[in-house]
Chains A and B, each alone.
Chain A
């Protein structure tokens, strides 16, 4: 065997596993997916002191070897050697929170009983000491019978000792077979009692601590102050997305503009130049401009998650979610869906109840994901005046916020109806561990942001670039006869398809340009922006040479049409990735097809109502 040894990080949720993983592997890690199960696979390389490379994987957090959700099942299957997706690890690093030994040692005992070489990382010892808890690692080592290394992942303390212990653990040779029955035979209550005995034995001294955490919680969980704080945080988050992103977005925009000009200067007018500038750069550039906004949104979500606040938010939201038959747990995937429904839908795997989970998946696409923002920003920027209507409040922002709220209201109504019809079932419970408050570590947040940026840019470089080029081809050929006066877009194949779609969407106020944009926007919503950009770049009949999409929209669209278009995008399930991830998560085509059907129906009806109300209101 030449493959490097495989070591798995295992532990309870909130044990600081991911921080330890980041500290051990640094930037040398990759995020993938276990095929078919949509559980993210985090793997990285670690070099031992003697130069041997080790492959390290970070398994999803679990409470025991009896899985109650899909991600816990992956953990169980990998450590018991039952996984068809991962080889049996050569050793386990069991990560335990030093301040919560009572609970975390139970799972540790189960894992040790499996018989694989185990090293225990007694993590976050600094926080335990801050809480007035002093532990004796030697006692733990004696009681557990495996090496115990005190670590502080976020300060990189104890990593050398951990690496050395790992070197011993994987150097033992002779692959062992896990003894699954030994790991699962003991009654959970017995194990829990044994864990408490060991924890008590290892505790040198203990004083009451965590006063400051209680003080934070007495505000964050307060019946009145808590919800006010939550709304304030969400408001700041969405405000920041728009104000902070302006400067970098303008810089990216200018960069692509410069690139277009440079190509126009370097190449003669013709097929290649048009393909590069009107097709590829106009299309991909229109999307990449939104990278800053997306990263700012993910920055907030990562901070809320790693600080421990996210579960408090779930706690506050539980009562509201219960009114539609969901639990506070569903709030976390739904908030992530504001960045992108794909990780949002994947995050539903922590929801134990099947019906609950399905409902959350079905409504997740109604959260205003970042792919809609290019569309909203473009149309709002072009058609809505940015008048100041109160201090710090401008009309464009209000419309944006309104679209967000309509999405949430739509999701609320959808959940209410779904829970009484297709996903009917007993109301599920809400039981969640609330992690300690922690100052998020910049390095961990940056790694998370980097991973999101790579995923986004890959999308822009593949799906979005490809659909944009195909659209450009469809819109460019065939050329209208010389001097016929027909617009090149109308004469092209794409233009004719667009006219066909126009018959269907005309009743809700959509024009030819929108009809043309809808089809490629099935690949990803933001393609609508690049598609409209491409249409106007090719259809530059007035010879003004202006490539500014906003000016073109202002000249060609009416306000009712623009509003109907915005409403359409609140509901329409125009995202192949979301449909694909739903198929994977629900194991079949039934639910994704249902989702697409009900969302398109809602989009058509709501856009129609908006259009005709606006027309009658004389807008």
Chain B
């Protein structure tokens, strides 16, 4: 049932990795695991995607579609928009 699914608390700005502006530092606010296939979700976890981790969109291949390269922790990871859309983000506060 849909109720059993943990609903991600929507950040004030409903940003995800697709809509996050390039080079805008952010943190992962939540991940909509239910939107992802099981192996996809596992690989995403293995690559370090988790709530509270620093994330930044570095590049988008070709305008409009194509994969996205982002920095997660100290790693650069390429992923498709379908997956990137499941990663909700909150812009980081400027102060260190």
Residues A101-150 near B (CB distance < 8 A): 101-103, 106, 133
Q: Mark B20-57, 1 if CB is under 8 A from A, else 0.
A: 00000000000000000101101111111010010000
Contacts A103-B75, A433-B76 given; does A221 touch B58 at CB 8 Å: yes
Residue contact B45 to A432, C-beta cutoff 8 Å: no
Using CB atoms, name the residue of chain A closest to B54.
A102
CA distance A62 to B31 in the complex (A): 23
In the complex, the chain B residue whose C-beta lies closest to that of A308 is B76
| Interface: A261 (CB within 8 A) | no
Task: Give Cα A226–Cα B67 distance, bound, in whole angstroms.
Answer: 13
Q: Which residues of B contact A102 (CB under 8 A)?
A: 48, 73-75
Residues in A with CB closer than 8 Å to B65 are: 319
Residue A328 at the B interface, CB < 8 A? yes
Residues of chain B lying within 8 A (CB to CB) of residue A99: 74
Flag whether A156 is at the interface (Cβ < 8 A): no
A192 contacts B50, C-beta separation under 8 Å: yes
CB of A66 within 8 A of CB of B58, answer no
Q: List 6 A-B contacts (CB under 8 A).
A: A63-B46, A102-B74, A223-B66, A318-B61, A352-B43, A433-B76
- Which residues of chain B come closer than 8 Å to A101, judged between CB atoms? 74
B63 within 8 A of A: yes
Establish whether residues B39 and A68, one from each chain, have CB atoms under 8 Å apart when the complex forms: yes
Chain B nearest CB from A200 CB (Å) reads 11
In the complex, A430→B47 CA distance in Å? 13
Instruction: Give 19 new A-B contacts, CB below 8 A, not counting A100-B74, A430-B78.
Output: A64-B46, A68-B42, A100-B75, A102-B74, A196-B73, A223-B63, A223-B66, A314-B78, A316-B61, A318-B80, A328-B78, A352-B39, A430-B79, A431-B47, A431-B78, A432-B77, A433-B76, A434-B69, A434-B76
Tell me the residues in window 313-346 of chain A with beta carbons closer than 8 Å to chain B beta carbons: 314-316, 318-319, 322, 328
Contact across chains for B66 and A189 when beta carbons are under 8 A apart = no
Contact B75 A431 (CB under 8 A): no
Interface centre among B58, B78, B80 (most CB of A within 10 A): B78
* CB-nearest residue of chain B to A223: B62
The A/B interface has a contact count, at CB < 8 Å, of 106
Choose one: A217, A319, A433; the contact of B75 (CB below 8 Å).
A433
Residues of A within 8 A of B47 (CB): 63, 103, 431, 433
CB–CB A217/B59 < 8 A: yes
Which residues from chain A contact B43 at a C-beta distance below 8 Å? 63, 68, 352, 431
- Is the Cβ of B59 less than 8 Å from the Cβ of A318? no
Which residues of B are found within 8 Å of A319, using beta-carbon distances?
61-62, 65-67
List the A residue with the shortest CB-CB distance to B47.
A433
Complex Cα distance, B50 from A22, in Å, reads 35
Asked if B42 and A193 sit within 8 Å, CB to CB, the answer is no
Interface residues on A, range: 35 or more
- Size class of B's contact patch? 20 to 34
- A101, B43: Cα distance in complex, Å: 17
The reply to whether the CB of B92 lies closer than 8 angstroms to some CB of chain A is no
- Given contacts A315-B67, A432-B77, whether A221 and B59 have CB atoms under 8 Å apart is yes
| Contact of A217 (CB < 8 Å), options: B40, B46, B58 | B58
Complex-state Cα separation, A133 to B65, whole angstroms: 35
Interface residues of B in 64-91 (CB under 8 A from A): 65-67, 69, 73-80, 82-83
Residues of B within 8 A of A322 (CB): 80
- Digitize A418-434: 1 where CB-to-B-CB distance is under 8 Å, 0 elsewhere: 00000000000111111
Check A311–B74 contact: CB distance below 8 A: no
With beta carbons under 8 angstroms apart, the residue of B46, B77, B78 that contacts A318 is: B78
Q: Closest residue to A436 on the B side, CB-wise? A: B76
A595 to B53, CA, bound (A): 46
The answer to the question of A30 belonging to the interface, with a C-beta cut-off of 8 Å to chain B, is no
Contact status B45-A431, CB under 8 Å:
no
Partner of B78 from A64, A133, A188, A315 at Cβ < 8 Å: A315
Q: Please indicate the chain B residues that have their CB under 8 angstroms from the CB of A196 in the complex.
A: 53, 73
Give CA–CA (A322, B50) in the complex, Å: 27
Does A87 sit at the interface, judged by CB under 8 A? no
B60 to A, closest residue via Cβ: A223
Return the CB mask of A38-79 against B: 1 if under 8 Å, else 0.
Answer: 000000000000000000000000011010100000000000
Interface flag for A197 (CB, 8 Å): no
| Nearest Cβ on chain B to A292's Cβ, whole angstroms | 35
In the complex, which residues of chain A have a beta carbon less than 8 angstroms from the beta carbon of B46?
Answer: 63-64, 106, 188
At the interface, yes or no: A218 with Cβ under 8 Å from chain B? Answer: yes
A431 and B59 contact, CB distance less than 8 A: no
Report Cα–Cα, A431/B43, bound state, in Å.
8
- The reply to whether B78 and A434 contact each other, CB–CB distance below 8 Å, is yes
